[in-house]
Amino acid sequence: MSATHLVTAICPGSYDPVTNGHLDIIRRAATVFDRIIVGVIVEPHHKQTLFSVEERINFLKQALAGVENVGVESFDDLVVDFARRCGARTMVKGLRAISDFEWEFQMGHLNRTLAPEVETVYVMAGPNYSFVSSSGVKEIASFGGDVSEFVPPAVATRCHEIFGEGGRERKS
């Protein structure tokens, strides 16, 4: 297929931090679409991020280094505008539980109203990742828990640097 006919999809999110569940969804999407652009929102309005956008992008690039058809970029506008800029007509979102569905259902309708040409495709989380969330990872890490089972090694290391053995965020 020529570059002008490649089917591009975006996987947008805050990725604060990226989890193994996120990576599973992205890798699976990469087997369906010719090109995936992981969009990292610079400053999500619905939550404060622990990691800078540069850290979040670097975590994703390291974890996805072996997946040739995946790129990572930041964005700071409407997700549908990001999709248009990337030439993507599809947005891939992961679903873990009913609570994810309720939020994504609402956002899907809003996005569809703003950009009817951009379709949202939902990918169910694998059973071994259905309970893993970025907020859960941060909660465990904040109390000094080991998050290495849930996130890429670079994220686990950085969580340990931030929170240490006993928890509580360190000022550095």
The set of catalytic residues is 22, 47, 96, 134
Q: Tally the C-alpha atoms within 13 A of residue 11's C-alpha that lie toward its C-beta.
A: 29
Helix/strand/coil for 90? strand
Backbone angles phi and psi of 51, in degrees to 5:
-105, 145
What pairs with residue 71 in β-bridges?
Answer: 37
Long-range contacts of 67-72, Cβ-Cβ distance < 8 Å, separation of 24 or more: 67/26, 67/27, 67/30, 67/36, 69/30, 69/33, 69/34, 69/35, 69/36, 70/26, 70/30, 70/35, 70/36, 70/37, 70/38, 71/35, 71/36, 71/37, 71/38, 72/37, 72/38, 72/40
Q: What is d(CA 58, CA 155) in angstroms, rounded to the nearest whole number?
A: 10
